[in-house]
Structure 1
Amino acid sequence: MGGKVVFKEYDPDQLTFLPYKLEELVPSGHPVRVVKQVVDAVDVKPINRKYKGGGASSFHPKLMLKLLVYGYLTNTYSSRKLEEQAAQNVHFMWLLGMKKPDHNTINRFRSEKLSGVLKQIFSQIVLLLQQEGIVSLKEAVFTDGTKIESAANKYTFVWGKSIKNSREKIKSQLDELWHYAQGIAKEELKDTTPLEYSEINPEKVKETISKINAALDDKEEVDKKVKQKLNYAKKHWPENLARYDEQEKLLAGRNSFSKTDPDATFMRMKEDHMLNGQLKPAYNLQITTQEQFILNYTLHQTSTDYQTLPSHIDQYGSLYNQLPKAVVADAGYGSDQNYAVLEQKGIEAYIKYNTFDKEQKAGIKAFSNDSLHYNEDENYLVCPMGQRMQHTSTGQRITTSAYLQLISRYQAQNCEGCPMRGVCHSAAGNRIVEINHSLRKHKQSAKDRLNTEQGIKYRKRRPADVEPVFAQLKHNHGFRRFLLKGISKTEVEIGLLSIAHNLRKWKA
């Protein structure tokens, strides 16, 4: 038989001689101590300026900042859950000195007081990392992007193409009404002309409909359906066009926006287990890292990464008054504009272009434009059969990011009877090619740089430096969707997430 079972003494109602101290319940080296130490060291004057003064007293900005940073560090993102933690969790209670802000106070601080100023706090923390020798703002950095879903309703969207089609439909129907009226009341409309597409606005359309109505007013032979159409047009078209004008202002050059979060753009998200694309309202998050620490973050309303790099690098410079010696990124950033911007700023671009990996494996494709020899002194190309292709013209092209490119055109002298014609080109006449010499030079420089010993090291290091950060944020810490709406508020969320990530890794 076994011995007598003995239980440890347990009396939850037993009084203690001295009350417990919260300080004794928080282990040394605990992340909450790191948050307190770092936030105490930063200057919160940028946040202080957001307070107007007067009225009831407010919780100190450092207390509120500690609450949010530690909340994001522990995957507690909801203001209501943060309110609960402040009242129940020993670590939060110790950090806040037993203060208990309610969820409305927490949300207002996050949405209003941190908006536009949190990046200044974030940069101070990065500078502390630099002082510790953990990161270097002057050395090479690694940049990449990911899309994070907006808090908006994913079924309430407006498309730019739909607005354009609706305008064209109104224009077409108005033309039909105009031509119908001309056939019946030509004399009344002899001094007026139909609207051009550029004139399709609420005032002009309303005026034109009034003219048509006035011309047809005393005509007995007017079709009843035309009268119904005119009544509908008078009532709805100016109102619809005014709405389209407002929607186009919100689009600001984008192809779409969400009605419940107009700052969010519909982007293709690869989220299911088969990585199938799904269109959802989202923001494009760009980060720059070093040793897996986030040094810079920006949010963008465009889904294409290459359009985000110039402003992303500009912010890096404004945050730290210095630029890195090199930027390492994947082929999504390899554009003529980005190479030119980095070159102008004196930054080495270790950035692939779209065909770099294929060229590494199989070489440059035979007969492609890139394979043609170029004589820079005399400005001509040489075709695969050795024939000169003379320069015929130079034109301009403006990219979707409003970047001006110069395009040179060359034409072969005689392709008739060439044995290579079938594989060289299939168009009628002599082969014509267009070359962007600026991009051609940038690609060659990038290729040479990427294939140096240093370039190979950076290429190997890039996926191990920046990509795991996204895995940490989205997979390990479950931040896949914003809680707040609007780019200014979502930037605050990313800022808190970035600060929390850096502090979590700093003392890990």
Structure 2
Amino acid sequence: MRDGKPNGFHFLDHRTTDAKYNIITDTYVTAGNMADSEPYLARLQAQIDKFGFKVEAVALDAGYFTSYICKKLSERNIFMVMGYRRFGKRNKEVPKSQFKYVEEMNAFVCPMGCILEYATTDREGYRKYKSKSEDCAVCPLREVCFSKKQKQKVITHHIWEKYKDIARKNKLTVTGKKLYKVRCSTIERSFADAKELHGYRYARFRGLKSVQMQAYLTAACQNMKKIALHLTKKGLVEGYF
């Protein structure tokens, strides 16, 4: 089960569309409990191998905003724009954004000027930085910085965090804003049309293989409509669509 998703037995369609004509270039069905980010890079490579695409830029939602995906896209020189999740205000601690990372020291500096030194790196690639308990004991922000059970502040920083920073900066550029805005009229529109016009709200079959067939048929119908409309506008075919 994924956070914010309905309970039950569901399937998930990992769909890709092009930005120019909104043609569905890939549709890949998995179990509903699989994270969006898991099959993404493999499906991207599958499209490059099959169609010979020269991918210049991608616009993805928050489910794909992981350090690994950002790293791999950066290594391929693909301009990436991704959404990010807005968490609630239940946590009243001083946010991580208030702590400044100093690369020369490999340490963080808190809002009061105290140093959080590097402690260890866990198996998932997260570096942990810890403050000195004696500094925190006399700090005026102690009550709002971390819980009463803790004696020091701990900040985690992934070893590939710099690649996520690249994605964040890209989204603030003029190109990034335009690219992410296109998502509403491409991939989001594609899913909406599939659900409202092609009966894609529910799985019509049982089993992953059968639902994948439904996804292919739905994508084929949508693509034929898109191609017919485009050719009609160009005056290459006659008819009403």
The alignment's TM-score, normalised by the length of structure 2, stands at 0.81
- The corresponding residue for 1:489 is 210
Distance 1:374 1:340, change over 3 A: same
Inter-partner Cα distance in structure 2 for 1:269 and 1:474: 20
Q: Given the alignment, which residue of 310, 314, 317 partners 2:48?
A: 317
Q: How does 1:115-154 map to 2 (within 5 A)?
A: none
Residues 179-190 of structure 1 mapped to structure 2, 5 A cutoff: none
Q: 2:63 corresponds to which residue?
A: 332
- 1:433 aligns with 155
Q: Paired residue for 2:112, among 385, 388, 392?
A: 385
2:130 is the alignment partner of 1:411: yes
Q: Tell me, in whole angstroms, the C-alpha distance in 2 between the residues paired with 1:428 and 1:492.
A: 53
Q: Write the deviation string for residues 40-79 of structure 1: whole angstroms up to 9, x where unpaired.
A: xxxxxxxxxxxxxxxxxxxxxxxxxxxxxxxxxxxxxxxx
Question: For residues 215-245 of structure 1, what are the alpha-carbon distances to aligned partners after superposition, in whole Å with 9 as ceiling and x for unaligned?
Answer: xxxxxxxxxxxxxxxxxxxxxxxxxxxxxxx
Q: Is the 8 A contact 1:352 1:446 kept in 2?
A: no
Secondary structure of 1:478's aligned partner: coil
User: Structure 2: how far apart are the matches of 1:379 and 1:289?
Assistant: 41
1:268 and 1:382 mapped to 2: Cα distance? 32
Separation (CA, whole Å) in 2 of partners of 1:455 and 1:486: 39
Q: Point out where structure 1 has 5 or more consecutive residues left out of the alignment.
A: 1-254, 256-266, 271-276, 359-364, 398-405
Find the partner of 1:286 among 11, 14, 25.
14
1:377 Cα deviation after fit: 1.5
| Structure with greater Cα Rg | 1
Structure 1 pair 350–453 and aligned structure 2 pair: CA distance change class (3 A): same
Q: How far apart, CA to CA, are the structure 1 residues paired with 2:197 and 2:163?
A: 38
Contact persistence 1:289–1:295 (CA under 8 A) = yes
2:30 to 276, 286, 300: 300
- Asked if structure 1 preserves the Cα contact closer than 8 Å seen for 2:93 and 2:146, the reply is no
Structure 1 residues 444-483: aligned runs within 5 Å: 444-483=165-204
TM-score, length-scaled by structure 1: 0.40
1:369 match: 96
Change beyond 3 A, Cα 1:323–1:490:
farther
Tell me which residue corresponds to 1:159.
none
| 1:80-91 superposed matches below 5 A | none
* Alpha-carbon shift at residue 457 of structure 1 (Å): 0.6
Partners of 2:4 and 2:106 in 1: CA distance = 45
Q: Where in structure 2 are the equivalents of 1:47-446 lying within 5 Å? A: 277-279=6-8, 281-290=9-18, 291-301=21-31, 302-355=33-86, 367-397=94-124, 406-413=125-132, 414-426=135-147, 427-439=149-161, 441-446=162-167
* Contiguous gaps of at least 5 residues in structure 2: 230-241
**What RMSD in Å do the two structures reach over aligned CA positions?**
2.6
Q: Which amino acid aligns with 1:294?
A: I
Q: Which whole-Å CA distance do the structure 2 matches of 1:461 and 1:497 have between them?
A: 22
Equivalent AA in structure 2 for residue 295 of structure 1: T
1:366 to partner: Cα distance = 7.7
- The letter for the 2-side match of 1:334 is F
2:152 & 2:214 partners in 1: Cα distance? 57
> In the alignment, residue 371 of structure 1 is paired with which amino acid?
Q
| Distance of 1:284 and 1:349 partners within structure 2 | 23
Q: Report how far residue 268 of structure 1 moved.
A: 9.2
- What residue is the counterpart of 1:499 in the other structure? 220
Percent same amino acid at aligned positions? 23
How far the C-alpha of 1:462 sits from its partner, in A, is 0.8
Corresponding residue pairs, total: 221
| Residues 268 and 278, structure 1, Cα contact 8 Å, conserved in 2 | no
